[in-house]
Structure 1
């Protein structure tokens, strides 16, 4: 007789092979056709709303792995919040203006650009941005990201553009916006000012020079004892930007440091005392003498001479001068540095910057007019060498600011720009106070953004480009008075909302101003427009006003902003400053920061290094759920590594989770949760134990979702599948699941536990493995009574009635004993005493009465726990002799274990050995238990479905 037909072998239509690449596309279509996201939004939300505001990615190019990580992380949060009683909508956004897009259009146009109007260039930029919005939208959807994709926010939409204009108007009306001549980051290749957030630091090779500024006057009066050396006395400075020397107007020293007059040959050099030795070593000067030391304050008022111009350079105080490098004497060019500018303001120096927008010296610069500044460096050095003011030169590789777009080095250049004042209306102080009211994840984010806000200069918000939202300011043609009235700006904003921002470039001022408007100062009716555009960080920064305050499903402030750590100086900060400046509050309650995605060795990804991993390629090869599992498995607080080897390991982990779920399903093929469930108090103890363990997992996973600790969630789920289920419970349950009667209490008890686990587990994994969870959902017993999508279900809550600490403690001991027995079983297998563990009889001798009494209560269950045919239990006062062949447990000192081949014959149905095999004449090759089961069977079970094949199942 074929006894396999009498077994309850696992069966399921749920496929073993995931085929995620194809299956995910089918599930995306299912979500779209059945409007699952919309239904999720329309569910009752007992906990109210949760608002995660999307930071807009740039509409330029395909998404990269960093985009994928960020969007998946957000999606996990959105899905988990919706499954825990919140209404958590997701409105995706795109940053559509700015230099990167205009730069790409410029490259495509080439020389043709000169023939086009600003409006025509803007039209091409708009088309370019729209193209990549559509491309990125599809790529984000392919990741499984839920959201209102039909109604995203775009910074180039008229409604959004009008909000930008209004927020500028609010800040201007408060007096927080001003126009000034100040040094700002300037890219001479893109020919525009840049914000700090648009500057990246990279290695750059610069000349490093030490230069003499001959003393012209004041030295004799200050140091009469050195009067004889005054004629050959110089102040020694050090710089890595020789091109700024034509703009030098002063030298700064720190009044509190000690300085020295050093004799070198017949000259005297003035510098900080603590830097003398280092300077002489660098300049390879071994013969020198310190003539005198004095406080830096003694140098104030001395007038030096420019090293190659007939121009004075006075010595002034500056507390920022340090002894970290150089000479302690800093050359001051107020038009080419923020600190230099501030020194200049205190002492009445103009921000002189004789460099044009192309990065070339202007005609007023003697010797170097028309030269690009970096190409002028060697010429300036040559001139100083000829004039005897160059002491020493070398090159240095150092971190230097570069343009984020064109990757070329930038400069500080004083130009007329628009700024938001950090001091007016106490914006800096208010922002710092509000930072303390926000929850920062990780906590170090608070210190990071606080230090940035504390130290930052006024915000330069003007750009000299075409593609963006203009600064809505008019100038009176007669008296040049700037028109920044709130009513005028609101009037323009209304026009923009109706017709788009391009009207600023197409219409005359009188067509944009209210009817009959005249200059409030001189009553002129003639005006010009400011043609600068706003910093794109201002545009995205006011998304709280354009999106949070406008969309019905959103609100201000948001519960969470979530971006990479570079956004402390970018979107997090621009949003904070604009919101505090106009609302007095931050736009967010919490800010979560993740690290950068790097390769397997922790190195930055780049095409040149050949270590780029594109999300599109991973999806085409492995599926989006593997990427989602990667996001969940990594602790995002640090940089996140990804490589082929890591993805392979995650694919293995995914298969273990999937196969565990499949095996659970395969044991539930004949289970109806409406009729076959066993009450908890009637379930077998092993089933009650696994449900206790599962409740602990539920609590741990829910807390991980709540705390955004997704790596804890991943490890918890994976360990439960591999350790609690696969390595023990499912293996130990096979005998009763396969060999007992189909409707027996023991089998139905196991099925009840397995159903509870698979139902809860698929919900727990749904926010992460959104595709796989949806696929499993359709195969659950009683699926017709469940919501049509797992994403319309709720995360399970731990059931208090399933939690039993005493039970857990007992089973912890049982599993410890099992682990000790397993070691001896393995040794017996290696010695060929047994083949499979079912060949074994385990004999236990205990000299510990307490442990003996405990195990005696489980005597009938021990073979199931050990997965052996039989177990004997004996208590003795003394340990067995060595000759008896027992092994002392390493964990339980009074436990002794022996494995022998089980007695009796092997049952042809359950494969256990028993002395009772063959006692029933009609079933000569079966044990008594199997005979009893077969006699109770009404007829032979059908075998319609394909049996599930799982790792380790062949032993059955």
Structure 2
């Protein structure tokens, strides 16, 4: 007889092989065709609102792994919150203005910028940006991200630009917007001013020079034959030198060396003797810094003097204690220069080339002029020392090229005017990780103003008019009118229409008695664009609300979007635009290096989707400590795929063994569950609670670890393992079998929902194979709630103690198997002598002990002797081969095989079961 056909083996159409790269697109297509997102929004529309506001990625190029990690993390949160009963509209966004798009057109697309008008060039920028949006949108959708993809917010949209103008107007109305001449970060490669958020620091090799300035008027303190010594790593700024700064409280020494009398800070003497190779340096006298004020020195190569000033920024950490001061090329230089009434000289144009004001160097690129300047210093006898150093230097984070300080008229937002309110709001925000609060607070604490103007073409224009006296005009009337024009026509009209057509009809101003007006040509910083989204999106769209519950972005956004959003929101509302900030680290290669094409270590999300599937990528994100930098490589992804396989196999096993189970017809009551069934039930409740707690604190790795441990240890290695003896062997409607199926069905259903936010494709695929579910998608279900009954602790304690004893038995079986005493565990007879009263009591209270241990015989004895006895902490164990014959159906070794003459190969249990079956085609 073919006894295999009498077994109730697992049956399921849920495939063992995931084949995710092919199956996921089909699942996503079904989501779109069935309008899953729209149905979800309709289902939850009356529920409490939860808003995660999307920080807009830049619309340029394919997505990288950082983009993928960011959007996947957001999707985790929103899917969880939706399953937990919240209404979670998610509006994705894109940042579409700025230099990279201009550069892409001129370099990659070979657009000749000079042959186009500003309006024509902007039209091409818009066309390019929108194509990038479409490309990235499809790539984000492939990641399984659930969103209102048909209605995103895009910073170049007319409605967005209009709202941004309104926000600018509100800040201006409060007096926070002003124009001034200041030394700001300037990028010659971008030909534009930059804000601090657009600066990154990289190593740069620079000349290090020490220069002597001869005293011109010593004010009776210094003599004409004495010289002040400065140090700089930017020789190119010497044409703009107008002063030397010293500290009022420092002692300055007049040092005689090789016939020259040099003035330096006394604290720097030791270091300078080594650097300048002084042989016989002799201190003639010391002078307090304050005594040097208003002394003048001769510029080393121009016919003008440099004023000695007192500055608190002077230190003795490096240099000479006498600081070269060029008000047009340094922030501190600028401030002290204004204090002392110096000219703000900046003889470098927007491209980084010297102007006529830098006589002798005009037309040279600033950095390339360093050798010529040092050579001139040498010729004039002013150069004391030249060497080269490698140091951290400010770079344009877009072009990756060095920036300079350059004094130009710019528009600013005065952060200091509402800084206290920003700091107060920072304290009220919830931070993940906690150090984010300190990081943003430190950035805001010392910030004075924000340079918001850029000298580019592709962006939102600064909506300012000028009268005939060149005074800026910003009124409620002009702001409202420009905003409405942009809402109807878009911001391109600023560069297409005449100025008079951009003003309200009949507009008059005291600044233009003849009615002649001009307009600002600069555009706004792109961080002002994205930083306006709380007003342009959260306030403008009916389904959203400000403040958002969560902003989640990379850790670089403390200086970027987190900062600019806070600045603009506090300026106009007094409140932060977010309740919670979550930040994540960067994706690195397996060796912890930054990914780059040149190193060949880039792992592209599109490639992972094609090779392994998006759920593997999502599992990698979920398993990672994402708040720090995260490593990824092919080997790491293979490990993730193995963890995925174990989860999938558990799901498949559960599905296969409940194929003939109907929860409506076959479910047993809780009272009919055995103690071990109740243990798994209660264990599941703890898993549910731990998982939900982890989700609430955005700790996705704990979600995965908790479920994975439950599947691997509690289910696969224990409950499901011994349950096979019941599920396969007993009759279909056996009460014990139905009890186990009840536990398995409930367990599977909960696992599918618990993991649905992280593995949405796999869990939804499995959900389709689950019987008697009212929802056609797991994403329309509800997150399970833990039922931690007060009387469950006895079962939990009993079985946790049993698992400790079971581990000792399993170890003894493994040792016996290695010694060839037995083959499979069902060939074993296990004799156990408990070493403690507690262990003895526990084993004697355990029903079906042999079945639980998956052995054919178990005996509890008072004592066991012999060389083959193994002693553990709680048990002495002897493993031997079980006497008897193996049942050909259940494979148990027993002495009652053949007791029923009709079934000579079966044990009594199997014979009874087979005899009860209606046998068709089993011969």
Aligned-residue offset at 1:328: 1.9
Matching residue of 2:739:
749
With over 3 angstroms needed to count, the CA separation of the structure-2 counterparts of 1:340 and 1:493, relative to structure 1, is same
Aligned mates of 1:305, 1:422 — CA distance in 2: 39
With over 3 angstroms needed to count, the CA separation of the structure-2 counterparts of 1:505 and 1:396, relative to structure 1, is same
- Contact 1:83/1:794 (<8 A) preserved: yes
- Contact 2:2/2:922 (<8 A) preserved: no
Matching residue of 1:646:
636
Instruction: Choose which of 695, 705, 715 in structure 2 pairs with 1:705.
Output: 695
Aligned-residue offset at 1:524: 2.6
- Contact 2:3/2:922 (<8 A) preserved: no
Matching residue of 1:271:
264
Matching residue of 1:437:
428
Instruction: Choose which of 871, 892, 913 in structure 2 pairs with 1:888.
Output: 871
After superposition, where does 1:641-720 map in structure 2 within 5 Å? 641-720=631-710
- Contact 1:692/1:803 (<8 A) preserved: no
Query: Is the deviation greater in 373-382 or in 207-216?
Result: 207-216
1:468 aligns with 2:497: no
Query: Is the deviation greater in 513-522 or in 622-631?
Result: 513-522
After superposition, where does 1:12-411 map in structure 2 within 5 Å? 12-44=12-44, 48-108=48-108, 110=110, 112-218=112-218, 221-222=220-221, 230-411=223-404
Query: Is the deviation greater in 661-670 or in 170-179?
Result: 170-179
Deviations 1:156-212 (A, max 9, x none): 111011111111111111111111111111121221111222222222111111111
Aligned mates of 1:559, 1:655 — CA distance in 2: 35
- Contact 2:903/2:911 (<8 A) preserved: yes
Aligned-residue offset at 1:922: 1.4
Matching residue of 2:825:
837
Aligned mates of 2:148, 2:523 — CA distance in 1: 30
1:734 aligns with 2:724: yes
Aligned-residue offset at 1:304: 2.1
Query: Is the deviation greater in 568-577 or in 454-463?
Result: 454-463
Aligned-residue offset at 1:523: 2.8
Aligned mates of 1:182, 1:103 — CA distance in 2: 27
Instruction: Choose which of 880, 895, 902 in structure 1 pairs with 2:882.
Output: 902
1:926 aligns with 2:906: yes
Matching residue of 1:576:
566
Matching residue of 1:861:
848
With over 3 angstroms needed to count, the CA separation of the structure-2 counterparts of 1:802 and 1:763, relative to structure 1, is farther
Aligned mates of 2:111, 2:584 — CA distance in 1: 42
Aligned-residue offset at 1:110: 4.9
Query: Is the deviation greater in 515-524 or in 162-171?
Result: 515-524
Aligned-residue offset at 1:942: 9.1
Aligned mates of 2:871, 2:799 — CA distance in 1: 21
- Contact 1:51/1:88 (<8 A) preserved: yes
Aligned mates of 1:777, 1:108 — CA distance in 2: 47
C-alpha RMSD over aligned residues: 1.7
Aligned mates of 2:802, 2:776 — CA distance in 1: 41
Aligned-residue offset at 1:940: 5.2
Instruction: Choose which of 804, 809, 819 in structure 1 pairs with 2:797.
Output: 809
Aligned mates of 1:108, 1:857 — CA distance in 2: 77
Query: Is the deviation greater in 127-136 or in 359-368?
Result: 359-368
Matching residue of 2:758:
768
Instruction: Choose which of 407, 413, 418 in structure 1 pairs with 2:406.
Output: 413
Query: Is the deviation greater in 366-375 or in 754-763?
Result: 366-375
Aligned mates of 1:677, 1:283 — CA distance in 2: 90
- Contact 1:172/1:486 (<8 A) preserved: no
- Contact 2:217/2:224 (<8 A) preserved: no
Aligned-residue offset at 1:63: 0.8
Matching residue of 2:777:
789
Instruction: Choose which of 480, 487, 490 in structure 1 pairs with 2:470.
Output: 480
Structure 2 unaligned segments of length 5 or more: list them.
none
- Contact 2:686/2:788 (<8 A) preserved: no
Matching residue of 1:952:
none
Aligned-residue offset at 1:222: 3.1
Matching residue of 1:422:
415
Aligned-residue offset at 1:938: 4.1
Aligned-residue offset at 1:803: 7.2
* SS of residue in 2 equivalent to 1:739: coil
- Contact 1:46/1:85 (<8 A) preserved: no
1:450 aligns with 2:435: no
1:7 aligns with 2:7: yes
Aligned mates of 1:932, 1:46 — CA distance in 2: 57
Aligned mates of 1:47, 1:285 — CA distance in 2: 79
Deviations 1:756-783 (A, max 9, x none): 111000001100101001100100122x
Aligned-residue offset at 1:371: 1.2
Deviations 1:6-31 (A, max 9, x none): 11111111111111111111111110
Aligned mates of 2:781, 2:843 — CA distance in 1: 42
- Contact 1:420/1:459 (<8 A) preserved: yes
Aligned-residue offset at 1:420: 0.8
Deviations 1:732-762 (A, max 9, x none): 2111111111111111111111101110000
- Contact 1:318/1:343 (<8 A) preserved: yes
Deviations 1:599-629 (A, max 9, x none): 1111111111111111111111011111111
Aligned mates of 1:903, 1:213 — CA distance in 2: 105
Matching residue of 2:836:
848
- Contact 1:597/1:642 (<8 A) preserved: yes
Matching residue of 1:947:
none
TM-score, normalisation: structure 2: 0.98
With over 3 angstroms needed to count, the CA separation of the structure-2 counterparts of 1:806 and 1:257, relative to structure 1, is farther
Structure 1 unaligned segments of length 5 or more: list them.
224-229, 944-956
* SS of residue in 1 equivalent to 2:831: strand
Aligned-residue offset at 1:45: 5.8
Aligned-residue offset at 1:870: 0.9
Aligned mates of 1:884, 1:402 — CA distance in 2: 75
* SS of residue in 2 equivalent to 1:827: helix
Aligned mates of 1:578, 1:561 — CA distance in 2: 15
Q: How many equivalent residue pairs?
A: 923
With over 3 angstroms needed to count, the CA separation of the structure-2 counterparts of 1:844 and 1:294, relative to structure 1, is farther
Aligned-residue offset at 1:941: 9.3
- Contact 2:203/2:393 (<8 A) preserved: yes
- Contact 1:119/1:502 (<8 A) preserved: yes
* SS of residue in 1 equivalent to 2:302: coil
Aligned-residue offset at 1:280: 2.1
Aligned-residue offset at 1:935: 2.9
Aligned-residue offset at 1:330: 1.2
Aligned-residue offset at 1:218: 2.5
Aligned-residue offset at 1:884: 5.3
Aligned mates of 1:909, 1:350 — CA distance in 2: 100
Query: Is the deviation greater in 315-324 or in 738-747?
Result: 315-324
Query: Is the deviation greater in 517-526 or in 732-741?
Result: 517-526
- Contact 2:185/2:403 (<8 A) preserved: yes
Aligned mates of 2:589, 2:179 — CA distance in 1: 45
Aligned mates of 1:62, 1:667 — CA distance in 2: 44
Query: Is the deviation greater in 744-753 or in 256-265?
Result: 256-265
* SS of residue in 2 equivalent to 1:392: strand
